[in-house]
Structure 1
Amino acid sequence: MESYSTTTTINGAGNPAADNFPSSFSKFNTALTAGLLNPMSPPPFVDKTRSSPTLFEMMSSEPDCHLKAPPNGVVPAENPQSLKLSANPLHQDKQALLQQRLLDLLSSRSPGNQFNDAGTGDVKLTLSSNDGVSITMSVHRQILVAHSRFFALKLNEKWVKQQGGMGPYIVEIADCDDIEVYIETLRLMYCKDLRRKLMREDVPRVLGILKVSAAIGFDAGVLSCLEYLEAAPWAEDEEQKVASLLSELRLERVGAMEVLKRVSVDVTTGVEYGNDNEEVLLKLLHVVLEGKDEKARREMKILVTKMLRENAPHTDLRKESLYSVCDRCLNFLRQCFLKEAEEATQNVGQIARHADNLHWLLDILIDRQIAEEFLKIWALQSELAVAHSKVPVIHRYEVSRVTARLLVGIGKGQLLASKDVRCMLLQTWLVPFYDDFGWMRRASKGLDRHLIEDGLSNTILTLSMPLQQEIFLSWFNRFLNAGDDCPNIQRGFEVWWRRAFWRRNGEPERPRQMRITSASIEKS
């Protein structure tokens, strides 16, 4: 926090601070005023009759080219102050610009406002910063004492009697972080409508005013800043600054909690809201699953997936809750699918809708690494797989996208299921997957065919060699008859071929036996 000091000097505060900071352009301005740098002045006369001096002239002028040593042999050092001033002219220019900006700020006041009124002010207040910038203004002790607990303590009646005069009194506040913010804070003490005045400021400036107001005990300024922060919109990068400053200042009793409620739900009572958060997330999932507009549903699925993925470690969404949503969605799909397989209905479009919802939920489970149980549940849906061929492919191919996602997950190591579950998945859903692949490839936008084919190949290659042979030979025959409507798992077929024939026909490499070449016993 800045340090505050007072002095008992009664006379004037001296020259303005701006006179103590000469501009680095002073020499330039002097030369320009004198006409030495007049761009319209004629060039100096040059005698062109002789292009170079003679040898005699060069020899006669040679002693003048050397510096004459002083009598004592010591070269006088340059003025350190002049070196300092010339070393960093850019810093001085910045200080001069800041000084001018502060003077402009002090001079801009509405008619009737007594802030910085030298005629009526009885306190000469000087604000100074660590980098040497200072500014002096005329303020009123009565206003400072009435609005600030700090000034009420420092400028009390006892202090006035100690000064032994009628003023003006000289007060200095040193080591200010931002003099502009201090001036703005003091100006607020002279305003009748602080909230209206703050409406012209942005959030970073109001945070600075709030910090100064809290430091000097300017309660009206603190309340006005909090009201502004509670009502004004924040940029995303400003939220952390607001929360950090309010926590640092500890303004819970004067309205800071109302501001922090915008970014935290448990800031007031300290009660854990885990269950409430889970209810909100589940409600969001149900709303997306039951939405009517397909375009809006797709957009919200992307948004919810992104939020859940970014906040996965902090999201209060239990595995049991997610699986309850999956079970509900799977039951809807099963009812619609089996009903459509028995008799044609007008709700056949619901099959694709529920299958798409199930595919989205599966993505969430895989992101959270809890999808192994769903893989087992899907592998056991033999009744659904048997009825698969009885439903038109245009309505059922979305179901095979669920199978494709599981194959990709197994192939990429995102799902670590047992061998029995992997075998059951292929036995139940591989043929329906083959039947729908052509439609799935043509109708699904953004479908990565090669990713699915690699996932299927890697899944098959995790099985035993007899099962690999059975599946790859069946695929070989199907691919020759279906072409592009069948997934191309040639890469996996080649791996199986090398495993089955090349290594079988080649001479197996015998492991080398370990043998001791030499041994000795060290004698002690």
Structure 2
Amino acid sequence: MAVVAENLLKSGEVSAMIRQGFISSPRLSPASSPPPKLPATVSGSSEASAFPSPLRPSFPAPRTTTLFEMMAQEGAPLRPPMRTQQHDLQERIAAVLASKGPSDLKLSVSSSNGMRIRMAAHRRVLTARSRFFAEKLAGICGRTSSRPVVVEICECDDAEVYVEAVGLMYSDDLRRMLAGEDVEKVLGLLQVSVDIKFDEGISACLDYLEAIPWSEYEEEKVTSIIGKLHIQQLSEPVREILQRVSVEPSSFANADSIFLGIFDGILQSKDKKARRDMKTLISSLLKEDVNHSNAQYNKLDVSKESLYYLCHKCLDHLMQLFSEAANVECLGDRASLMNEVAREADNVQWLVDILINKRIADEFVVLWGDQRELSTCHSKIPCMYRFEISRITAQLFVALGRGQILVSKNAKISLLRTWLEALYDDFGWMKRACREFDKKMVEDGLCATILTLPMVEQQSILLRWSDCFLSNGDNCPNMQRAFEVWWRRAFVRQYTGDPNNLQLQNVVSDDHT
């Protein structure tokens, strides 16, 4: 140690340590300060007498730890470890067991992870409460010995839960002991109680599980663990517990009618906020079913037939409302009808969104493309009332452009011929009136859909679009990307596989003739 200190002095590191306060400086040490001077003698006297002034009381300077002391403390013993949860459990259970007087049995419980808990138990309690211990200790009940019996339980899944189960045997009110415990712990106690044939513990755990609320995570654990308890005398209590989550076989036959009732109630609701909230809830539940389907459950879902039945019902109502609105002259009556139109259009959008998520919206594209009468009535209604209908068309083009709906080119052509002009007319209103309207997404969907058609159809649609765009500007969807691709296909990189495709199709819309 002295050699280390000498090396530090030579290296110049000591001065740095002094500045940082690790070593006391000789210049600052009180021991190195000069002694106080005596007062001067009085001149003119034959006897020079000195009267020293009383010394001021000195206070020792704060002691700083030196480098040598710090080095010496490196080998000091560490503090004793803090108490662990295992120690607390062992002491708590020991206090419970001690209430029955002197013990005559030593119980040792160990788990596969190396944990071992020892306790002083009582043979009469274990044999009275547990048929497992009664069977194991039956052969030594009559023996007399000054030394207690030692019982070892090895390779437990959870030694702490096993010890807790033993502690329950000493309680006269098991329900009170379990009150406030979490579901996962009680499930562990139930499994141990079944293993050691602790009937009162089993009943108390089942009563607890039947009474306590479960979270969704706990519900899966409860159904999984309880379903494995194939014990005859437990069949009725287990059935009572599982009634909370089990579905009667008759529900399978009535599922579609239940779904129809729920959907129909939502679609007819007059409360806008409640209708929106329930639509959001049902949509999220249906998406969850699609993304997290589990093979172990008999999954019930709304049928395709029910969804299309509701779609037809909404479209028929829309047609009726449009016909009435076209013949109404009173502005107040028309506004009331248009509110109904907006609600019904929103209903159709919600149903179409469900169809798209379930990948069964292909038939709706054909159905919507066939609504020529509705499209004709649509053009007779002011934009401020009818634009919600065009949002259905936009919704379909987005899904078509993303490949979420797969239909033939004839279905796409029918959709475009029936509703594209209406979409052009209402595009400006949709941008201004709909917060959630994504202009670019709709434009990308339109471009992608048009570019899947034959060149003759691309040319007809895009030449008509150019006229509309030049006239209306931003109030018309911007399909320049599709126009560029069509231009290059037609004039720059013509496909040479078929001579018929080398010539530009001189087919234009009626507006260009």
Query: What TM-score do you get using the length of structure 1 for normalisation?
Result: 0.72
Flag structure 2 segments of 5+ consecutive residues without an equivalent: 11-77, 294-298, 500-513
Shift of 1:452: 0.8
Shift of 1:133: 4.2
Per the TM alignment, residue 44 of structure 1 is displaced from its structure 2 partner at its CA by 9.9
Structure 2 residue 457 is the aligned partner of structure 1 residue 467 = yes
Structure 2 matches for 1:143-292, cutoff 5 A? 143-156=125-138, 159-161=140-142, 163-164=143-144, 168-251=148-231, 252-265=234-247, 271=249, 273-292=251-270
Q: Deviations over 1:279-336 (max 9, x none)?
A: 3333332232223332332233222222212213544322112111111121222211
Matched, 1:404 2:394: yes
Change (3 A) 1:133 1:415: closer
2:62 match: none
1:240 Cα deviation from its structure 2 partner: 2.6
Q: 1:167 to 1:454 in 2, by over 3 A?
A: same
Give the C-alpha shift of residue 166 in structure 1. 8.3
Which residue, out of 56, 60, 84, partners 1:97?
84
Look up the match of 2:286: 308
| CA deviation map 1:442-491 (0-9, x unaligned) | 11112111111122222222333333222222211111111111111111
Moved more, 460-469 or 131-140: 131-140
TM superposition shift of 1:387: 0.9
Letter in 1 for 2:140: W
Match for 1:405: what amino acid? Answer: Q
> Which structure 1 segments of 5+ residues have no match?
1-42, 53-89, 110-114, 512-524
The answer as to 2:95 corresponding to 1:124 is no
Contact 2:93 2:167 (8 Å CA) reproduced: no
Matched, 1:493 2:483: yes
- Alignment counterpart, residue 316 of structure 2, candidates 331, 340, 352: 331
Name the SS for the 1:249 alignment partner: coil
Residue 347 of structure 1: SS of its match in structure 2?
A: helix
Distance in 2 of aligned mates of 1:188 and 1:509: 85
Distance 1:412 1:188, change over 3 A: same
Secondary structure of 2:98's counterpart equals coil
State the alpha-carbon separation in 1 of the partners of residues 86 and 481 from structure 2. 74
Counterpart of 2:90 in 1: which secondary structure? helix
- 1:131 and 1:503 map into 2 onto residues whose CA distance is 71
8 Å CA contact 1:366, 1:414 repeated in 2: yes
Per-residue deviation, 1:120: 4.0
Structure 1 residues 463 and 177 mapped into 2: Cα distance closer, same or farther (>3 Å)? closer
Contact 1:213 1:219 in 2 (8 A): yes
**Considering only CA atoms, is the larger Rg found in Structure 1 or Structure 2?**
2
Give the partner amino acid of 1:380. D
User: Secondary structure at 2:244's aligned position in 1?
Assistant: coil
Give 1:363 deviation, angstroms: 1.1
Query: SS in structure 2 opposite 1:255?
Result: helix
Contact kept in structure 2, 1:117 and 1:138, CA below 8 Å: no
1:440 positional shift? 0.7
In structure 2, the partner of 1:83 is none
Give the equivalent residue in structure 1 for 2:53. none
Structure-1 residue corresponding to 2:67: none
1:1-60 per-residue CA deviation (whole Å, 9 max, x = no partner) reads xxxxxxxxxxxxxxxxxxxxxxxxxxxxxxxxxxxxxxxxxx999998xx89xxxxxxxx
Q: 1:140 to 1:492 in 2, by over 3 A?
A: same
Matched residue of 1:472: which SS? helix
For 1:329, the aligned partner's letter is: C
Matched residue SS, 1:343: coil
- Equivalent of residue 326 in structure 2, options 334, 341, 347: 341
Does residue 136 (structure 1) correspond to residue 121 (structure 2)? The answer is no
Q: In the aligned structure 2, how far is the partner of 1:185 from the partner of 1:148?
A: 11
Q: Which of the residues 299, 315, 318 maps onto 2:303?
A: 318
Aligned equivalents of 1:127 and 1:192: distance in 2? 23
Counterpart contact for 1:372–1:417, Cα < 8 Å = yes
| Secondary structure at 2:365 match in 1 | helix
**Which whole-Å deviations, capped at 9, do the CAs of 1:187-239 have from their partners, x for residues lacking one?**
22222221121013112211111111010111111111122122223333333
* Cα distance in 1 between the residues matched to 2:478 and 2:2: 88
Structure 1 residues 472, 128: closer, same or farther in 2, change over 3 A? closer
In structure 2, distance between residues paired with 1:276 and 1:226: 31
Give the counterpart of 1:371 among 350, 356, 361.
Answer: 361
Deviates more, 1:483-492 or 1:191-200: 191-200
Structure 1 pair 367–131 and aligned structure 2 pair: CA distance change class (3 A): closer
Q: Which amino acid aligns with 1:476?
A: S
The 8 Å contact of residues 393 and 439 in structure 1, kept in 2 or not, is answered as: yes
Query: RMSD over aligned Cα, in angstroms?
Result: 3.2
